[in-house]
Amino acid sequence: MFAQPIGAGLTEHHKKNFDKSALELIRLGTHWTEIAGEDAAPNSRPLKLNYSRNGGVLHIGASPSSALELQHMQPILLQRVATLLGHRKVNRVTLMQS
C-alpha cells in the first residue's frame, strides 16, 4: 500500500469544516493579544469557530473578570476578527466562563 495524504481518511464534511474553521481558529489564537487587548488576552482564548448559513460564531473561553470585559467589547472584537479573517465571516461571539 502506498502512502496517502493525512486527510485522505476524512470525509468531505470533515474536510470542509477543518479547512475553514481549524486553520482560522489557529490564526485567531496567534493574534489573540491584538484582538482581545493586553488586559483580557492572558485570561481568555478562542475555543471554537463554527460556520453556518447565517455566518460564523466564535466561542471564547474566559475567566469571569475577562468575560465581563469581553462582553462589553463584542462590537470591537467582531471588527478586529473581521479585519483578520474577512468582512462578515464571524457575526457573533459566545463567551464561556472557565
Instruction: State the pLDDT at residue 34.
Output: 96
Instruction: State the pLDDT at residue 30.
Output: 95
Contact 28, 80 (CB under 8 A): no
Those residues whose C-beta lies under 8 Å from the C-beta of residue 24, and which sit 6 or more positions away, are 49, 85, 89
Range of the domain at 96: 61-98
Domain assignment of residue 82, yes or no:
yes
Domain assignment of residue 31, yes or no:
no
Element (H, E) at 48: strand 44-52
Domain assignment of residue 32, yes or no:
no
Domain assignment of residue 52, yes or no:
no
For residues 75 and 40, give the distance between their C-alpha atoms in angstroms, rounded to a whole number: 15
Record the pTM: 0.78
| Count of domains for the chain | 1
Domain assignment of residue 97, yes or no:
yes
Low-confidence ranges of the chain (pLDDT < 70): 1-20
Domain assignment of residue 48, yes or no:
no
CA distances from 66 to 17, 19, 23, 75 (A): 29, 29, 25, 15
Domain assignment of residue 33, yes or no:
no
